[in-house]
Copies of this chain bind each other. A is one copy, B any other.
Amino acid sequence: MVTIYDLAKLTGFSAPTISKALNGNGKLNSKTREKILEAARKAGYQPNMAAKSLSTKQSKLIGVILEDQTMMRGFEHPLFGGLMNRFRKEIESAGYDLLFLSKNFNGGMSYINHCKYRDVDGIIVVNPVDDDPEIFSLAQSGIPCVSTNELIPGVCTIVSENFESGEYAAREFVKAGHKKIGFLGAPSRQTSPASIERFEGFKKGLCDLGIEFDDDCYEECEFWHETAGFEGMKKLFNRRSDITAIFAVCDTIAYGAMQYLAEVGKKIPDDISIIGFDDDAIVSDFKPFLSTFRQNREKIAELSAEMLLQIMSGVPCPDVVRVPAEFISRSSVKVL
Q: Residue-by-residue, is A265-287 near B (CB-CB < 8 Å gives 1, otherwise 0)? A: 00000000000000001100110
- Which of A82-90, A168-176, A234-242 faces chain B? A82-90
**Residue A310, interface by CB 8 Å:** no
> Does A92 lie within 8 Å of B104, measured CB to CB?
yes
Q: Are B81 and A73 in contact (CB under 8 A)?
A: yes
Q: Give the docked Cα–Cα distance between A118 and B49 (Å).
A: 6
Chain A residues numbered 53-93 whose CB sits less than 8 Å from any CB in chain B: 53-54, 59, 68, 73-78, 80-82, 84-85, 88-89, 92-93
A315 within 8 A of B: no
What residue of chain B has the Cβ atom nearest to residue A99's Cβ?
Answer: B97
A100 contacts the other chain (CB 8 A): yes
- From A27-35, A105-113, A198-206, the one touching the partner chain is A105-113
Which chain A residues in 32-58 approach chain B with CB under 8 Å?
46-51, 53-54
- Asked if A264 lies at the interface with its beta carbon under 8 angstroms from chain B, I say no
* A81 / chain B contacts, CB cutoff of 8 Å: 73-76, 81
Cβ 8 A contact of A106, one of B73, B74, B95, B106: B95
Across the interface, A85 reaches (CB within 8 A) one of B47, B68, B281, namely B68
A102 in contact (CB, < 8 A): yes
B residues near A74, Cβ cutoff 8 Å: 81-82, 84-85
The CA of A80 and the CA of B49, in the complex, are separated in Å by 28
Given contacts A49-B50, A286-B286, 15 further A-B contacts (CB under 8 A): A48-B116, A50-B54, A74-B81, A74-B82, A76-B82, A76-B85, A76-B281, A92-B105, A93-B106, A97-B100, A98-B99, A99-B99, A226-B285, A282-B282, A285-B286
